[in-house]
Amino acid sequence: MEIRFILNQKQVAVDAAPDAVLMNVLRDLGCKSVKCGCETTNCGLCTVWIDGKSRLSCSVLAAGVAGREVTTLEGVEEEAAEFGRFLAEEGAEQCGFCSPGFIMNVLAMVKEFEERDAASGSGVWDIEEIKEYLAGNLCRCTGYMGQLRAIQNYMAERRGAAEGREMKEVQA
Amino acid sequence: MLTISNYVKAKTLEEAYELNQARSSRVMGGMMWMRLSNAKVKTVIDLSGLGLDQIEETDKVFKIGAMCTLRQLEQCERLREEYGDGIREAVRHIVGVQFRNQATVGGSIYGRFGFSDVLTAFLALDTFVELYDGGIIRLSEFVNRKPDRDILVSIIIRKGKRKFRYSSVRRTKTDFPVIACAVVTGIVHGEESWYFTVGARPMKAALTERKWKLGPDESEEAIAAYAKEIAGEFDYGTNMRGSAQYRQHLAEVLLRRSIRSILTEDK
């Protein structure tokens, strides 16, 4: 069956079987960042965004995304590279196999938390809250400590940059 | 392995119901559990185009569409105001945000899974299910029915002043629960009533109730005795996550903590 959807801001049309899962369809379309790590729907490696929300593409029927917007790591290259630098600085990466799914969920989390903060005016992110948000992203090399440091540094820099922008606006 | 020959995004509930009358058809929720099953499905029916992804509120009820995700439950401010952190507590340990953005309330309830936190939580509240053909029936009745060809449309919680507590034990974060308990209390027909559900025993959640009048000054010993009585009312099983005896012990501890937490809330 033909399925049309938006992949990384581009309209695509693919011919896929009714039981094709999104993960495989995305890989066939060249998005090799999307991987299967567990076969039991809980490792988070296949994380992509559907209409902006983090989802497990291994359990999504490709047919079900017709008309929707799908984003993979390939579609957020710039932000991913930026956060990737923080990961590298903390030596957080070992084999790197889980990184694409992890980065997708980190970016979704940062977006969600920043939107919430903008609405409520608060800006304190509890480390437990971060851990809870990312509990569905498994890494079998590390103990997650480097990743958590990287996230905190990344968020602090974003906050600093946002405050800098605000200061400029106020001065202007 | 799961194979599907035909995918249909239903345009009406009636169409979904008609298609589902064939034994080879299957309604899909979030597909989290279904995709891990072994089945040859002729027609898979997708309900995502029917607007069943809303949590609606009236004076008397909360109506949760079958296609609402567990994440929506977790983030629903009104449910939190009404029942405290219990609803969030019931779902926040389930795998991860990505999973909960996808797993549906309807899938969790319709599946009547032994491991279901969602079922354990809702069964303790004044909850009904709306079926396309079967109308509105109590969740406590639905839970013991054999799966049939009907379509689950929504979950309806009748409002009333309730105190709600949820707790579970997991061997590791994001895993299935070893045991899950919900405790609810409120005035029903003028009488103080207590509702207790225990799930993941590892059998599906079951409910028991009491007309107990308990005050904030109940002794620890008295509360322990109540918890022991309730925990002793359910049957437990043994699997790789824990023995029956261990599960009953955990249930007793969680029930005791929840009862105490409710009784001392206003202290």
Residue B54, token pair as written in the block: 């809303």
| Residue in chain B nearest A105 by alpha carbon | B98
Q: Where are the domains of chain A?
A: 2-72, 75-171
pLDDT tens, position by position, A108-148: 999 999 998 888 877 777 899 999 999 999 999 998 999 99
A66 Cβ under 8 Å from any chain B Cβ: yes
| Residue in chain A nearest B2 by alpha carbon | A19
Q: At the top level of CATH, which class does the domain A2-72 belong to? A: alpha beta
Provide, rounded to the nearest whole percent, the portion of chain A with pLDDT above 90: 83
The answer to whether the beta carbons of residues B94 and A42 sit under 8 Å apart is: no
The CATH architecture to which B55-263 belongs is: 2-Layer Sandwich (3.30)
Q: Is B217 buried (19+), middle (13-18) or exposed (0-12) by CB count in 10 A?
A: exposed
Stretches where chain B sits below pLDDT 50 are none
Provide, rounded to the nearest whole percent, the portion of chain A with pLDDT above 70: 99
CA separation for the pair A104, A54 (Å, rounded)? 7
Report CB contact under 8 Å: B98, A136.
yes
Please state which CATH number belongs to domain A75-171. 1.10.150.120
Nearest CB partner across the interface for A135, out of B30, B48, B174: B174
Q: For position A118, what pLDDT does the model report?
A: 85
Is the pLDDT assigned to residue A75 strictly greater than 80?
Answer: yes
Nearest CB partner across the interface for B101, out of A18, A53, A64: A53
CB neighbour list of residue B95: distance below 8 Å, 6 or more residues apart: A41, A42, A135, A136, B103, B174
Q: Where are the domains of chain B?
A: 2-45, 55-263
Going by the DSSP 8-state scheme, the letter that residue B176 receives in this structure is P
pLDDT tens, position by position, B205-226: 999 999 999 999 999 999 999 9
Probe site for chain A from B98, B171, B174, B175 (most A CB atoms < 10 A): B98
Q: For position B158, what pLDDT does the model report?
A: 97
Residue B210, token pair as written in the block: 């009491």
CA separation for the pair B29, B106 (Å, rounded)? 7
In A91-130, the residues whose Cβ lies within 8 Å of chain B are 105, 108-109
Q: How many other β-carbons are positioned within 10 Å of the β-carbon of residue B131?
A: 19
pTM exceeding 0.90? yes
Report CB contact under 8 Å: A136, B97.
yes
The C-alpha of A48 sits at a distance from chain B's nearest C-alpha, in angstroms, of 9
Q: For position A162, what pLDDT does the model report?
A: 80
B173 vs A contacts (CB less than 8 Å): 135
Cross-strand bridge partners of residue A11: A6
Reported ipTM: 0.94
Band of residue A165 on the pLDDT scale cut at 50, 70, 90: confident
